[in-house]
Amino acid sequence: MSTAILGHLHASKRAEAMLEADARIRGLRRDRWIDYPRASQALLKLEGLLEMPPRARMPCMVLHGDSNIGKTLIVAKFQREHPDRFDEVKGVERRDVVGMQMPATPDQHRFYSALLFELGAPHSASASLSVLERLARELLRRIAPRMLIVDEVHHLLAGNYREQRASLNLLKFLANDLKFSIVVVGTADAPLALASDPQMISVSVRSSPSLDGEQLRTSQMSMTRRRCP
């Protein structure tokens, strides 16, 4: 296929269009970022929280909406825009944004174990809760993140009231102790899981797939001129 007939494509995508059929199909099946108003709003809110200076009570945010409408893609794009970096002076890795998933059941031991896994920290699964908590806090202080993103926060509803309160207290403790914002992401049920703690829903953003005519045209234009996922 000649590049002369690919003038309707962005220059960065013409080489991909020249590949074999299997390679083109794999490329089409990759996740793609397509901008739309609610997503842009969420990204701006996330950026604002990231720039928040340390305070006695750090503001937190809940990003919620129906399943399969792109909430996880929004936070994944935000994390890509804030990659890890190496502090050559102190010889440690710095991570502005740390992301993880809430365990399937609200259990503090499993939460800290999942957090340590995301931090790449070896630990014993049989260690006590106090040991895991101390290790996680020490590593977070060393890495110095400005934000912790917890996806699938609606899993809190799988526990009883006492377990839910304990998990919410854990999140609030980390935010206040380490002076970073926490962003929780979940389905439309997420606000229900957080309703008893106003600090955890300082900022609430609903992700919605609904677009009016002008928003739809804007999204279509974003698809045609998109340079990168």
Q: pTM to 2 decimals? A: 0.79
- The pLDDT score that the predictor gives to residue 148 is 96
The arithmetic mean of pLDDT across residues 198-224, rounded, is 53
Catalogue the long-range contacts made by 130-134 (C-beta closer than 8 Å, 24 or more residues apart).
133/108
Q: What residues contact residue 67 under an 8 Å CB cut-off, 6+ apart?
A: 187
What is the 3-class SS of 190-207, one letter each residue?
HHHHHCCCHHHHCEEEEC
- Check pLDDT > 70 for residue 169: yes
Please give the helix or strand (H or E) that residue 160 lies within, else none.
none
- Each residue of 85-139: pLDDT tens digit? 887 777 777 889 999 999 998 899 999 999 999 999 988 878 999 999 999 999 9
Nearest 5 degrees, angle CA 140-CA 71-CA 36? 125
The arithmetic mean of pLDDT across residues 152-160, rounded, is 89
Domain(s) labelled CATH 3.40.50.300 in the chain stretch across 32-225
The two tokens of residue 46 are 């996330």
Does the 32-225 domain belong in CATH 3.40.50.300?
Answer: yes
- The pLDDT score that the predictor gives to residue 203 is 59
